[in-house]
A = this chain, B = another copy of it.
Amino acid sequence: MLFTRAGIKTQKNAPHDADSKNAELLVKGGFIKREMAGVYSYLPLGLKVLQKIKIIIREEMGNVDACEVLMPALTPLENWKKTGRDQVDIAYKPNEKTVLGWSHEEMVTPLAKEFLTSWKDLPLSLFQIQTKFRDEARAKSGILRGREFIMKDMYSFHQSQEGLDTYYERVKEAYFRVFQRCGLIAYSIEASGGEFSNDISHEFAVITNAGEDTMVFCKQCGWAQNTEISTQKGGKKCPHCAETLDEKKCVEVGNIFKLGKKYTEAFDVQVPNAEGTRETPVMGCYGIGVTRLMGTIVEAFHDENGICWPLPVAPYTVVIIPIGRKEEFETSLLEAKKLEKTLSEKGIDVLVDDRDESPGKKFGDADLLGFPIRVVISPKTLEKGEGEWKIRTEKESKNILLEKVGEEVLKIL
């Protein structure tokens, strides 16, 4: 893809109203545009990151046998009356009969009812990747806490508590894989269920300075608690493995809940068991803030020059920067396009910075936009059929034969 056709426009200065590192860098880099407090547009580069995160999530939800659906944002108020959540103050109500979905238990439960005609239909797990609306009193921290945001929400239905317990652990593992594949180290923290449940729930937290919460955790065994409810603190010994505990700010990127029968009872979901007796399924729910995850990745991976995207979620894996004056630039650009073609054929996402801009501006933008690998092609490197290879997060660069670039990229992908 050519830079001039990719719909990228970086800004010289950080936005004056950025309230966080992710807002600053994503707006400056032209990944997102702030439209209102807590409401953002996603521009071509930002959308590419989102798509890559979604692919990872879809694969991992498939791995726990969940089926994808898409429920509406317009939901009937009467459904929310059945569960007593019709007066929740974060709910937008576009008219007197309708609520904009801020969570979808009230929709998925009656939906599941249609699937569940026999105990053989259990367990059932449905997920969606969908836009949620929450009238947050204080939208803040860029795309970490928005009024409109993309969420992956999943809901599972089981014949027994044991079935739910087993599935809950499978989803927990899938969640760790999602965050790991996004480059993040997440800790699972036992938490209270809030609006959702009086039962067990877990949050998944990633260490970053932008965090609203603080957790005490053990790097050794993964034990973690929110400091608000923990009797432990940093410096003490881990209650599980006796390693010294750490304490850091963190962002919640996902949460999972055992919901019990609250919703299946409210919507009168009953499924005949093998003996023909009608039983009420138990339910779990599992959320990941997709746009929040994107913001968290930026909080976790940036330096003074810009974003440092982890390979699996980078909008482009490689940026090729041709430089030179006049005819020499044309030669560099030609070689850049040849290299792009070779790499694309290997399935590598490549951007060629074909702009008529100074090398300094191109290098600066490459750092700001955070492409993991940069290859500079200049008249000088071309003399030996080479380009200059640099990893975004490393200081040193090296020259490399252009014909070896593909091989080298695949080694670290």
Q: Given the known A-B contacts A47-B69, A126-B7, are A74 and B114 also in contact in the complex, defined by CB atoms under 8 Å?
A: no
A76 lies within 8 A of B36 (CB): yes
Interface string of A66-77 (1 = CB under 8 A from B): 011111111110
Interface string of A125-150 (1 = CB under 8 A from B): 01000010101000000000001100
A74 lies within 8 A of B41 (CB): no
Q: Which of A67, A70, A111, A114 has the most CB of B within 10 A?
A: A70
Q: Given the known A-B contacts A65-B5, A147-B74, are A111 and B47 also in contact in the complex, defined by CB atoms under 8 Å?
A: no
Cβ of A89 within 8 Å of any chain B Cβ, yes or no, is no
Interface string of A274-295 (1 = CB under 8 A from B): 0000000000000000000000
Copies of this chain held together in the complex: 2
Interface string of A197-227 (1 = CB under 8 A from B): 0000000000000000000000000000000
Cβ of A94 within 8 Å of any chain B Cβ, yes or no, is yes
A42 lies within 8 A of B67 (CB): no
B41 lies within 8 A of A69 (CB): yes
Cβ of A100 within 8 Å of any chain B Cβ, yes or no, is yes
The range of chain A's interface size is: 35 or more
Q: Which of B11, B33, B72, B94 contacts A41 (CB 8 A)?
A: B72
Chain B residues whose CB sits within 8 angstroms of the CB of A100 once the complex forms: 94
Q: Which of B74, B117, B131, B135 contacts A36 (CB 8 A)?
A: B74
Residue in B closest to A108 when the chains form the complex, CB atoms: B41
Chain B residues whose CB sits within 8 angstroms of the CB of A9 once the complex forms: 114-115, 117, 121
Cβ of A39 within 8 Å of any chain B Cβ, yes or no, is yes
Q: Which of B6, B44, B115, B117 contacts A7 (CB 8 A)?
A: B115
B95 lies within 8 A of A33 (CB): no
Chain B residues whose CB sits within 8 angstroms of the CB of A171 once the complex forms: none
Cβ of A35 within 8 Å of any chain B Cβ, yes or no, is yes
A72 lies within 8 A of B35 (CB): yes
Q: Could you list 6 further interchain pairs (A-B, Cβ under 8 angstroms) beyond the known A7-B115, A43-B111?
A: A6-B67, A9-B114, A35-B75, A36-B76, A39-B74, A73-B133
Chain A residues within CB distance 8 Å of chain B: 5-7, 9, 11, 30, 33, 35-36, 39-44, 47, 50, 65, 67-76, 92-95, 98, 100, 107, 111, 114-115, 117, 121, 124, 126, 131, 133, 135, 147-148
